[in-house]
Structure 1
């Protein structure tokens, strides 16, 4: 009898082992074969100061979790063809477990092709800054893709609030005394969700504060400092003294605008020759210009929280659990929405507020 009991007990243990194996066999973290996850991060331009900031946060996460994750970084050099070639090479690399991809204004067929190839290899991935219509459709076609976005509208809201405060407390801003804020919008990219939200909400926040606005020009500058500089040089000649504010989608673009203004004697300390410029990102270079009085403001962005969100979602997908398990993120219309932390930086407050 005791021998039968031992055999039965052994049989039950074997069943439990098989059940556990079935539950973990698709995870690279199966207990009997635990390894470090190799996560490739391909971004549109790691020379961009904001992308450099995010990259450093990923490195910080890796240093704290060396037994769990290894990040590798691939610079798309703001060229879609280069970015697609990088993605194709990563999909063929057997050492890569996961991809995080941020492309320069990709068309829908490029995104569809990447997801098709990833599904053939059964590779999970996160895609950034994808058009909502495309994300809603493709999220249903491959269960291991996550489209990630922050609440970029909040960045635009803070930009708008900075200009509202400036308008209400600095009447010199209304140069032609028509009680209308004449502005130029420098947009990062065409049909880019981040750029679209920042454009929309920066202006709507100003209008909702009871301030009338007039858009003198909207120019797409491809997140490029040099293109922004050349654009503002041209617009200064066209609109002369009519420009009262420049709203830039990020600090890189804003810095290009400042260089153009200073070339023509603006924003160098003379209050009579000053045009308000607002950026986003909280870069050190932008902060320095703000402290000197050469730029109006920027929006501090919590890059640590953004990198942490990518890490948590990636590890969840690798382990075959819900991408938002043990997080406070939400899923809406095909996107995982990550709450951000955004605050103004101006000479007035000179601190994160």
Structure 2
């Protein structure tokens, strides 16, 4: 039996209508689809490097699972392109066409309650992932789940990475020799839980080590490499070599900082310390090149595996606690890990 994977994005009302007519029957059943399992996945933005990695891992794992169990699986992946209205439309159509499980990477976490209620009304389990809804929304229904990693933990590890680098090589990183860590902070989306927690716990962990810090600037770059490059270019014009550390809520923005520094022509030995979170493939390359001091491994394949294990248990009417380790009956948490040049090879080979 052959896996069917449907991936698409909607860029206009006309293309939306045409694509839904052409593609959504694959999620509907029909005579040739009656024995298949149908999983609808909606992403907040497939251009996000980490989300793209998760999507690719999920596709590969579904192929392996289909071969293992000998049952057809239709995996239907949609790209909401940062539009909550579009995502809600995808959810409605997935439900109308009879998908067995919904997997939702929220555009706006405040919209989760509506999705939970829609899924519950149709008796369709829903698995949120990567962008965590509030607990009250998850608890609205017994078949609502979340798969992800603790934002607090990622911030703590990023802070530890910086604190260890600062204390072990103070002369290298303390450019003005005043003993104060001068930094700029690249944050994700305004009000986004992961951005808030990563920012808070990164700084708290550094200061808990007795390191005095001074924030030169902070701004959101919406997890985006190009936006981050623009922010850093502006800050380099304003602060120059006063910037000793660049803290970033994710790797794409850290890579944007690297892009901006490359444009200046400044020698690598004179760059500030730069750190990120996710351990994406481009970030690992930057660690190897000595441009990114380190990152925090966010296990995209492990999360994709947990999503699939949970979805398969729910599709077959099995106890999900037998397929994954559930916390409080609704949550699956995967750990983060530090990545530096010292242990880089382990993650280049496929993760910790």
Range of TM-score over shorter length: 0.7 to 0.9
Number of equivalences: 310
Task: Describe the SS at the equivalent of 1:330.
Answer: coil
Report deviation, 1:326: 4.0
Counting only pairs closer than 5 Å after superposition, residues 1-353 of structure 1 correspond to structure 2 as 35-66=35-66, 67-68=70-71, 69-94=73-98, 96-106=99-109, 108=110, 110-129=111-130, 134-135=134-135, 137-170=136-169, 171-266=171-266, 268-269=267-268, 271=269, 273-331=270-328, 335-340=330-335, 342-352=336-346
Secondary structure of the residue that 2:259 maps to in structure 1?
Answer: helix
Alignment check: 8 A CA contact 1:58 1:71 kept: no
> Considering only aligned residues, what root-mean-square deviation do their CA atoms show, in Å?
2.4
**TM-score, normalising length from structure 2?**
0.80
TM superposition shift of 1:100: 0.7
When Rg is computed on C-alpha atoms for both structures, the one with the higher figure is 1
- Residue 177 (structure 1) shift: 1.8
CA distance in 1, matches of 2:259, 2:75: 35
Note the C-alpha offset of 1:213: 1.8
Does the 8 Å CA contact 1:331/1:337 hold for their aligned counterparts? no
Judging changes above 3 Å, is the alpha-carbon distance between structure 1 residues 328 and 144 closer, same or farther for their aligned structure 2 residues?
A: closer
Three-state SS of the structure 1 residue aligned to 2:331 is strand
The question of whether the paired residues in 1 share the 8 Å contact of 2:106 and 2:112 is answered with: no
Task: Evaluate the alpha carbon distance shift between residue 187 and residue 104 of structure 1 in structure 2; reply closer, same or farther with a 3 A threshold.
Answer: farther
SS in 2 for 1:46: coil
Query: 1:243-266, CA deviations, whole angstroms, 9 ceiling, x for partnerless residues?
Result: 111111111111111111221223
The answer to whether the 8 Å contact 2:182/2:213 transfers is yes
In structure 2, relative to structure 1, the CA distance for the partners of 1:229 and 1:157 (3 Å cut) is same
* Residues 37 and 225 of structure 1: CA distance in aligned 2, closer, same or farther (over 3 Å): same
Q: Hey, what's the Cα distance between the residues in 1 that align with 2:284 and 2:139?
A: 42
1:186 is displaced (CA, Å) by: 1.2
SS of 1:160 mapped into structure 2: helix
Distance in 2 (alpha carbons) for counterparts of 1:241 and 1:300: 29
Give 1:114 deviation, angstroms: 1.9
Check conservation: 2:132, 2:146, Cα contact below 8 A.
Answer: no
Distance 1:131 1:191 in 2: 13
- The alpha-carbon deviation at position 111 of structure 1 amounts to 2.2
TM-score, structure 1 normalization: 0.80
Q: Which runs of 5+ in 1 are unaligned?
A: 1-32
Closer, same or farther in 2 for the Cα pair 1:302/1:113, shift >3 Å? closer
Give me the whole-angstrom Cα distance separating, in 1, the residues matched to 2:195 and 2:90: 24
